[in-house]
A and B are shown apart, each in its own frame.
Chain A
Amino acid sequence: MIDVSGLRKVYRDRGREVVAIDGVDLHVREGEIFGVLGQSGAGKSTLLRCVNLLERPTAGTVSVAGQELTRLGESDLRRARQRIGMIHQHFALLSSRTVAGNVAFPLEVMGVEKAERARRVAELLELVGLADKAGTHPAQLSGGQKQRVGIARALAGNPSVLLSDEATSALDPGTTQSILALLKRLNRELGLTILLITHEMNVIKSICDSAAIMRDGLIEESGAIPELIAKPGSRLTAELFPLPAPEPGTVTITFTGQADEPVVSQMVRKFDVDVNILGGVLEEVAGVSAGRLRLRLTGAERAAALTYLSERGLLVEEAPAAERAGASGISVTSQVEEIA
């Protein structure tokens, strides 16, 4: 639905070049919620602005719904943008207009008739649960209500794609969850494809089907979340399920979807091993339960037991056993290695 390839964005600031995006490919499938996670300054905001060409990419192409936006002239681009909704961190509502007036604005831009506009505004406010606030000015609304107005406004043109620029970053945790739930509902009910950027892992965890991690203008990893979790050494996994750095000789197992199966207990019954659980995190991510366990395995059949876990579809990562303290005095390595 959204295809970005070879995207570069370089700013020129008094003769100096600042690379905001350094060659990024992004593929968002129809009907999914795709989250780009990154610290501020990682370039994710620039990336999002490049998708509807609020920022002109220095190089690369952007296509939305099969239309290559980077080829369009100004008026065609304006028409294409009417089919791409966008919501903003600070809502960007017009304070001179009422709630209904704000939602009507994009319809005015599209040249929708007045009666049709009123009908559509009522429908949209109903959809986001603000039907009773039509005549209110944004200044009288709470943050969550303002973002609902922003969402209603973004949906006015029946967009196939919604871009979300840190839409919940200015909201408190409770309100964040209700806005995320609304986005998820719109995604399901309207088949809306959502591309969001955020610095909050919670957002990725709560509603995203796919994710990308962005850093220094590059995408470090990207893909469907269950696949990313199953990938060895994934940064997303490490951030989703934070466990302390592994001690030497410990084993970290990551599982997706198998949380209901008593895999560990079956392993203990089958093999001659003892299991000591050192830590664990379990989360509901992208609709499946997934998690990581940090184990210490001892016993004669340790290697066979680990192979068994791998065969059962778990990702098994083993921290190497401590080496004898060498001349350097450094004995512990935190490198996590995968055993096949």
Chain B
Amino acid sequence: MTWDEMAPLLVESTLQTAQMILLSTLFTVLIGLPLGVALVVTDRGGLFPSPTLNRVLGVIVNIGRSLPFIVLMIAVIPLTRLIVGTTIGTIASVVPLTLGAAPFFARLVETALREVGRDKVQAAQAMGASRTTIVNKVLLPEAMAGLVAGLTVTVVALISYSAMAGAIGGGGLGDLAIRYGYQRFETTLMVITVIVLIAIVQLVQTLGDVVARRLARH
């Protein structure tokens, strides 16, 4: 393959991967963040203690986490068809990606929130703050560095998952590597794909580290 043949393929695949990651990150945060908060506040001694709900949420999160992504991806195909209308393409892959990453992110959110000192929560209670105020103005802001670090790890995991999503027609760099690198022995393209993936991961990790460090400095 010539460079002129490869370039459009690479650009298109990279954009598809970027789209998958951005959309699934968005939905992962929308689902995983509240789920992680719920895991902390419904725990015994939490702000909204509810042992039953806590156990149910824990089980749901664990189920999501115990399935290898490639299995989860196939298992949720009917759900994907229900939500997106198709099971092929970049948008369709956002459903399994989100379902795979949200429980993972929820656990990281849980860990980050538990790091916030109990005395800070109690101080806010002593001021007469409501429980939602404590979540919004104490727990989340105080855990922000940990949350950003957790999100970085999640996005990196999503990049890896998104490559697998290519295997069932999700498009993106993973799809490119399978079709050209694996099935057609296009070694040059394979090498470039690897380099692009490494660059994306490096970029995400560095960005995440800078933001987290800036938040943690206080």
User: Does A110 have its Cβ within 8 Å of any Cβ on chain B?
Assistant: yes
Give the distance to chain A from B140, nearest Cβ to Cβ, in Å: 9
Which of A78, A82, A137, A163 is the most central at the interface, judged by chain B CB atoms within 10 Å of its CB? A78
Partner-binding segment picked from A30-38, A94-102, A173-181, A309-317: A94-102
Residues 137-165 (chain B) with a chain A CB within 8 angstroms: 137-138, 141-142, 144
Q: Which residues of chain B are within 8 angstroms of A64 by Cβ–Cβ distance?
A: none
Check if B127 sits within 8 Å of A81, measured CB to CB: yes
Q: For the complex, count residues of B whose C-beta is within 8 A of A.
A: 21
Give the distance to chain A from B109, nearest Cβ to Cβ, in Å: 16
Check if B130 sits within 8 Å of A78, measured CB to CB: yes
Q: Which residues of chain A are within 8 angstroms of B144 by Cβ–Cβ distance?
A: 96
Q: Which residues of chain B are within 8 angstroms of A138 by Cβ–Cβ distance?
A: 218
Assembled-state Cα–Cα distance A109/B119 (Å)? 17
User: Does A327 have its Cβ within 8 Å of any Cβ on chain B?
Assistant: no
Check if B137 sits within 8 Å of A90, measured CB to CB: no
Check if A52 sits within 8 Å of B126, measured CB to CB: yes
Q: Which residues of chain A are within 8 angstroms of B133 by Cβ–Cβ distance?
A: 109
Check if B215 sits within 8 Å of A105, measured CB to CB: no
Assembled-state Cα–Cα distance A7/B68 (Å)? 55
Assembled-state Cα–Cα distance A137/B129 (Å)? 22
Q: Which residues of chain A are within 8 angstroms of B141 by Cβ–Cβ distance?
A: 94, 96-97
User: Does B125 have its Cβ within 8 Å of any Cβ on chain A?
Assistant: yes
Chain A residue nearest in CB terms to B119: A92
Check if A92 sits within 8 Å of B125, measured CB to CB: no
Which B positions have Cβ atoms within 8 angstroms of A? 117, 119-120, 122-130, 133, 137-138, 141-142, 144, 215, 217-218
Which A positions have Cβ atoms within 8 angstroms of B? 52, 54, 77-82, 84, 86, 88, 90, 92-97, 105-106, 108-110, 137-139, 153, 157, 163
Question: What are some 14 contacts across the A-B interface (CB < 8 A)?
Answer: A52-B126, A77-B128, A86-B127, A92-B122, A95-B218, A96-B218, A108-B137, A109-B127, A109-B128, A109-B129, A109-B130, A109-B133, A110-B128, A139-B218
